[in-house]
Structures are given as C-alpha cells and as structure tokens.
Amino acid sequence: MTRAEFLRLMAACAFAPLLPRSLRAAESAYDFVFTRLMYESGDWDVDQRMPSNLIDALIQYTTLRVDPKEQVIPLGDPRMLGAAFCYLAGHKLVEFNPDERRNFEKYVRNGGFVLVDDCNHDIDGLFAKSFEAEMASIFGPAAMQKLPNNHPLYSCFFKFDGPPATGFELNGWGDDLVHEYLKGIEIDGRLGVLYSNKDYGCEWDYDWRNKRFLAEDNTRFAVNIAVYAMTT
C-alpha cells in the first residue's frame, strides 16, 4: 500500500488514527489475508464461498493488496498469532482444547481481531451457548457486550445505522428474530472479538460473480469489518 493509498483509507476511517496492522508487517506481500480458524470440537469449515466474496468486496472497494486465497490455520497452531484478521464459525459445540484456548486469549489480548459468526442464527443454540461460555471462561462473564449502533464499526467505510439484517432473519429462520445488535469483547478500548448471531457467513456464501445480480451489494458490511480490523 502506498502512502497515498493509506491516507485515502484513513480518510474513510476518521475514527482510527492508528497505523493499520498491515503496515506494521511491511514485509508481507499483502495488506489483507483472510485467515479461517480450524478448531477441533465443531464444524469449522462452513460457508465455504464466503471468503471469496469478502475478498472480492475488498478488491472492488479499496486499494488494499488482498491475498486472493483463504488461509486455514488450526487455532491451536502458534502461526495463527501472526494473522491480522481471523474468522471462526460453525453450528455445533465449541469447546476449545488448552492450546486453542491459550492461543485465542493471547491473540486477542495482543491486538488480534476475530470475527465469530453463529451459523445457526439464534441466541439459544449449541454454538451460541457454548461459544459464549468459552468467552466467559477466558475473558470473564461480563466481557461480551452488545455493540451500540453508533459504534465506529458501522461508519468506518460505508455508513450503516447498525448491523444489516440478513435474509435468514427476515425470512424467519433460526430463532425467528432480527437481531438488532452485534456483540464484542474489547481489550483496552479496542474491539478484539466481533460476535454475530446473524449468520453473515451464510448470507455471503454465494459465488462472488453472482453479486452483480443483487440490487444492493450485501457484502459492503464485510468491507467495514475488514477495514475496522486493520485500522485499530
């Protein structure tokens, strides 16, 4: 990323005066790499077309150098500690083993960002209950909080009034609710875990070439998430 490109990006993200993680790792060939976390207890390999859609959105709307391929790294592998953006999702039980738990905590406390998406799109399912229990055990029972709809996440690139609703919510799947909030865990005022019951992974799980048929690109919010992750 050139200095001019960096300044344009920061102008779009006025809330974030800090250097993006991508510039802290200047030796990397890419500014953004999509890293999916593999964990032993559940079905981590869901929404397999979603990463290419998010990658396509970043290429369309930003000047970032984006790795065109998804990277998959086990959560228990120390290599994940070097990732700037991680994604974790599933339907089933989330029960981290000791290595996974240690790496997750270290990664988040040291400045990492994890987007976690509940593919069941509910608040009482197995993934939701077990993942939130894991977060409570690692960061404390009050660590996970609802994000206000004026959180910088919703204005850092495109402007949103809050988390966009998904087709699954609007069609009455899951718990038949439209979740009007996302949750997160902040460390020293920085959002390290962004947690969604809205199933954005499945919402964006289609061939990126079909995006041209949509009246409005529903992956624009993915751009906000990625830009926020790299600029805080």
- Residue 11: give its domain's CATH number: 3.40.50.12140
pLDDT at 8: 42
* Cα–Cα distance for residue pair 141/121, rounded to 1 Å: 22
pLDDT at 7: 35
- Residues 6 or more apart whose CB falls under 8 angstroms from that of 98 comprise none
Q: What is the CB neighbour count within 10 angstroms for residue 220?
A: 16
pLDDT at 226: 96
pLDDT at 166: 87
pLDDT at 58: 96
Given a cut of 50, the residues of the chain with pLDDT beneath it are 1-27
User: 88: which strand partners?
Assistant: 116
Q: What total of structural domains would you count in the chain?
A: 1
Residue 78, domain extent: 3-230
